[in-house]
Amino acid sequence: MRIEIVAVGTELLLGQIADTNSQWMGEHLAAAGVASHFHQAVGDNQERMVLAFRTALARSDGVIVCGGLGPTHDDITREGIAEVMNVRLRRDEGGVERIRAMFSSRGREMPDTNLRQADVPEGASIIPQTKGTAPGLICPVGHKVVYAVPGVPYEMSDMFERGILPDLQRRMTERGESAGVIASRVIRTWGMSESGLAETLAGHIDDLEAAPSGPSMAGAGTSGSATIAFLASGIEGIKVRVTVRAADQDAASSLLDDQEAAIRRILYAQAGDVVFGVDDEAIEDAVARALAINGLTLGLAESLTGGLASSRLVNVPGASRWFRGSVVSYASQVKFSVLGVPEGPVVSEEAAGAMADGARRVLGSDVGLSTTGVAGPDTQDDQPPGTVHVGLAREGHPTESFSFNVPGDRDRVRQYATIAALDLLRRRLGSPTRD
Amino acid sequence: MRIEIVAVGTELLLGQIADTNSQWMGEHLAAAGVASHFHQAVGDNQERMVLAFRTALARSDGVIVCGGLGPTHDDITREGIAEVMNVRLRRDEGGVERIRAMFSSRGREMPDTNLRQADVPEGASIIPQTKGTAPGLICPVGHKVVYAVPGVPYEMSDMFERGILPDLQRRMTERGESAGVIASRVIRTWGMSESGLAETLAGHIDDLEAAPSGPSMAGAGTSGSATIAFLASGIEGIKVRVTVRAADQDAASSLLDDQEAAIRRILYAQAGDVVFGVDDEAIEDAVARALAINGLTLGLAESLTGGLASSRLVNVPGASRWFRGSVVSYASQVKFSVLGVPEGPVVSEEAAGAMADGARRVLGSDVGLSTTGVAGPDTQDDQPPGTVHVGLAREGHPTESFSFNVPGDRDRVRQYATIAALDLLRRRLGSPTRD
């Protein structure tokens, strides 16, 4: 069963709001094992709306239309669906009563325009409204179906779960389709390029593709299929996404566990400790885990990163247990007077080391981590934009310094430098998540 | 000229990421006077991709494809476009050299798979890459056109502005479509609700609507039309967006200047100094201007905001002229030992004042600004999440403290508190941008 989502609203085309409804429904359709190969967005124009609905019906088995069920003159999804069904709208008297009751329960007068929300294409059934004034619609079109739900997110999600999903599952059973479950997990890496990851995992991907359905995987003996994709979105490292299809949720989780373990094993053997987390885990979460496991506190001295590393670390719940603070020593004089860096060039490995020592001493932490460098656009101390020096001071270890270059404008240099410095700390402390 | 956006990536259909690229491009097409009646999203599957491209070409004059230009096996936008054009891919040698140079400038080896990114459909021209490894494409299809740009947002936006927009404008001129010019300016406010702004500006909006086209505006004698909308997107204050339509760019700029001046005048008279900037100017830019004009340096003491205020300030070009640094005193002991805050409760107006004094002294700045409070989820010192205390110390003035409450979770509390503290400083220094 292939379902296409059509979001209705000129504000979506104009970019005035993000289409989070399609994202939400895409995620929930996938989780229910329903394929969705296309999404569309269209404005509040009946001719174009009808064209979008017909396009969707031609290439999918069903359509979910989201938006355009409101009470105002530009809410014309009902009319558009009736045109596609080639039927007229009738006013549903039960619907009128529900809308009236909803207004009176809130102590408000119902404007007559709201009655339009009780209009239903002939032959359609409704998904009763419980949160807003517009009912949802289930509209048969030949052997296919068009669902319509309001664009208000919490009305949409309620009707999706209460009205659309049960109807879809009934249809899939009738078609003899065992939906199964689709689930995915993102394995997050830092320090490798997308193409480097792809080459390292190429053999594993080939194995998966050679057994595209129903392989008995790893030791678990679970059957199902898995695919792997790479996501380079943003600057938070490259993501390896594993998507599995299995009979039920337990089987899917087990497959994901197997795949995660296999990928971690291959990457660790060939590229070292590049995996820092899964799904929503950020680099600061990995640092927090490593500090907590080792019972260490952290203090920062930030010049290049200007407080960015600190602002990420404090967002980890429970940060007060291991985070002492940061000295953002933007002016050189602050490096000398507060951190005790020897007077001289401040963009150097030596300065980074002295800053890390200073952070430990001033903030009273077990570990000191520092950043200095050149954000650009100008060179500084003869060093080009993108130059990064990181210092790391730990009790019982000699203070270390590291230098490297990162690409991008001021903001990106800082962000890369922040992630790189935190990743360096994570690796030095020993990432506890590796297999 | 009607342009359809087609976002490519299975992760969009599965709801794993939001399609912010289509939103961004929709907004920028509208601003350029280009109509966009449909958006689509499609997965990494060549057959379906080709179907989506053909559907878009049938109902629009041109298509912007976003995503699927990466180096891995599932990046097949190049192949899909070549199929629609009915041509083969050729390897662009200049493109190969640019990709090689990009890798070697970062001191990294280029995997062979990256060479795919230099493949170009016969007859297509490229938009040279400056930020990532994939070039963009301009592909003629009969008298229509397909553009392709990478899905990485900052590569997409760069190529859109540098490659797509000029090409679109040339085509529109050739078609004899003088859209005139649509231009807009965003006037940014902090401290008023959306409905409060709407009420304050209601009279002005009525005047504009009464003369919807061709009014001779203000003293400039320029003709054109203007509309006003309110945007509550995000947490960086409420935006008032003025959109004008005029014969040419000069007339549009002049109309925007008149409208900006009128809106600033009305808001200042009725609500005070609520406007902090226009367009991309953020609150830190306003603070930077105020400090520079007054010849003052700034030092921070951040507890609640954890380095966030500092990380925003250092992104202003030339920050080193007025920004000394920040003491992120996350642990109470750091407030006592480094900043000299008297031992006792640290979430209070008194502590905020002492922190601001400490920041001035430790960092050697003219002005000290501090934040302390409760990010949540738990209460602290009997104060609820969202409690914010801000301290402000200036030479020749008694140290001041301010308290207020902001809504949201940990991250939002910090972000609101950061903006509120910076806005407070801006107002105290006297915003030099007001009319």
Closest Cα in chain A, distance from residue B214 (Å): 24
Can you give the pLDDT at residue A154? Answer: 87
Of A206-220, A337-351, B169-183, B372-386, the range with the lowest mean pLDDT is: A206-220
Instruction: Judge: A40–B44 Cβ closer than 8 Å, yes or no.
Output: no
Mutate to test the interface with A, among B158, B326, B329 (most CBs of A within 10 A): B326
* Residue A212: predicted pLDDT: 52
Q: How far separated are the first and last CA of chain B, in Å rounded? A: 39
Categorize the per-residue pLDDT at B432 as very low, low, confident or very high, splitting at 50, 70 and 90.
very low
Q: Residue A221: its pLDDT value, please?
A: 45
Measured CA to CA, the distance from residue A245 to residue A223 in angstroms comes to 9
pLDDT in tens, B227-249: 887 776 668 888 898 888 887 87
DSSP string, A140-168: EETTEEEEEE-SSHHHHHHHIIIIIHHHH
Q: What is the mean pLDDT of chain B?
A: 91
Q: HSE-up of B165 (CA within 13 Å, CB side)? A: 16
Residue B366 carries which DSSP code?
S
Q: What percent of chain A has pLDDT over 70?
A: 95
Average pLDDT, chain A: 91
Residue in A37, A325, A328 nearest the CB of B13: A37
CATH number given to B181-278: 3.30.70.2860
CATH code for the domain defined by A283-429: 3.90.950.20
Record: contact A310-B314, CB cut-off 8 A: no
Which residue in chain A has the smallest CA separation from B38? A42
Residue-wise pLDDT tens digits, A60-84: 999 999 999 988 778 899 999 999 9
Give the tens place of pLDDT for each residue, B248-293: 878 989 999 999 999 999 999 999 999 999 998 999 999 999 999 9
Is residue B220 very low, low, confident or very high in pLDDT (cuts 50, 70, 90)? very low
* Cα–Cα dist A138/A325, whole Å: 56
Answer yes or no: are the C-beta atoms of A358 and A327 closer than 8 Å. yes
- B154: exposed, middle or buried (Cβ count in 10 Å: 0-12, 13-18, 19+): middle
Cα distance between the two ends of chain A: 38
Residues of chain B with CATH 3.90.950.20: 283-429
Chain A positions in Cβ-Cβ contact with residue B319 (cut-off 8 Å): 330
* Residue B182 reports pLDDT greater than 70: yes
Q: Over 80: is that where the pLDDT of B222 sits?
A: no
% residues pLDDT > 90 (chain A): 70
For chain A, give every residue range classified as CATH 3.40.980.10: 3-174
Query: Measured in whole angstroms, how far is the alpha carbon of residue A77 from the centre of its chain?
Result: 30
Contact call for A13 and B108, based on CB within 8 A: no
Residue A223 CB coordination number (10 Å): 14
Query: Tens digit of pLDDT for each residue in A143-202?
Result: 999 999 999 888 999 999 999 999 998 899 888 886 677 788 999 999 998 889 999 999
By percentage, how much of chain B surpasses pLDDT 90?
68
Give the gap in angstroms from C-alpha B268 to the nearest C-alpha of chain A: 27
pLDDT grade for A432, boundaries at 50, 70 and 90: very low
* Better pLDDT: A380 or B307: B307
pTM over 0.90: no
Q: Assign residue A128 a region: left if phi > 0, alpha if psi is -120 to 50, beta otherwise?
A: beta
CA distance B431 to B273: 8
Above 80 in pLDDT, residue A108? no
**Residue B218 confidence (pLDDT):** 40
- Token pair in block for residue B398: 């008694």
A250-290 per-position pLDDT tens digit: 998 999 999 999 999 999 999 999 999 999 899 999 999 99
For chain B, residues classed under CATH 3.30.70.2860 are 181-278
Phi-psi region of A267 (alpha: psi -120 to 50; beta: other; left: phi over 0): alpha
Given a cut of 50, is residue A23 above it in pLDDT? yes
- ipTM of this model? 0.75
Nearest chain B CA: its distance from A29 CA (Å): 8
pLDDT in tens, A313-338: 999 999 999 999 999 999 999 999 99
A392 close to A428: Cβ distance less than 8 angstroms: yes
Instruction: Tell me how far apart the alpha carbons of residues B147 and B133 are, in angstroms, rounded to a whole number.
Output: 17
Which pLDDT belongs to residue B109? 81
Q: Is the peptide bond before B377 cis (omega within 30 degrees of 0)?
A: yes
Rounded distance, CA A185 to CA B343, Å? 47
pLDDT in tens, A183-195: 889 999 999 988 8
Structure tokens at B8: 């490519």
Q: Nearest-5° angle of CA A195, CA A198, CA A202?
A: 140
Check CB contact under 8 Å for A323 and B331. yes
Quick check: B313 and A306 CB within 8 A? yes
Task: Indicate the length of chain B as a whole number.
Answer: 435
Contact A327 B324 (CB under 8 A): no
State yes or no: pLDDT of B212 exceeds 70.
no
Query: Quick one: pLDDT band at residue B413, thresholds 50, 70, 90?
Result: very high
At residue A243 the predicted structure's pLDDT band, cuts being 50, 70 and 90, is: confident
pLDDT at residue A129 tops 70: yes
pLDDT higher for B217 or A129? A129
**Do A359 and A340 touch, CB atoms closer than 8 A?**
no
- From residue B160, alpha-carbon distances to A400, A421, B20, B157, B373 in Å are 43, 32, 14, 5, 42
A3-174 maps to CATH 3.40.50.12140? no
For residue B15, count other CB atoms closer than 10 A to its CB: 23
Residue percentage of chain B with pLDDT more than 70: 95
Q: Please report which confidence band the pLDDT of residue A246 belongs to, taking 50, 70 and 90 as the band edges.
A: confident
Place of tokens 């934009």: A385
d(CA A332, CA A199) in angstroms, rounded, equals: 44
Closest CA of chain B from A286, distance in Å: 18
| Stretch B152-176: mean pLDDT | 93
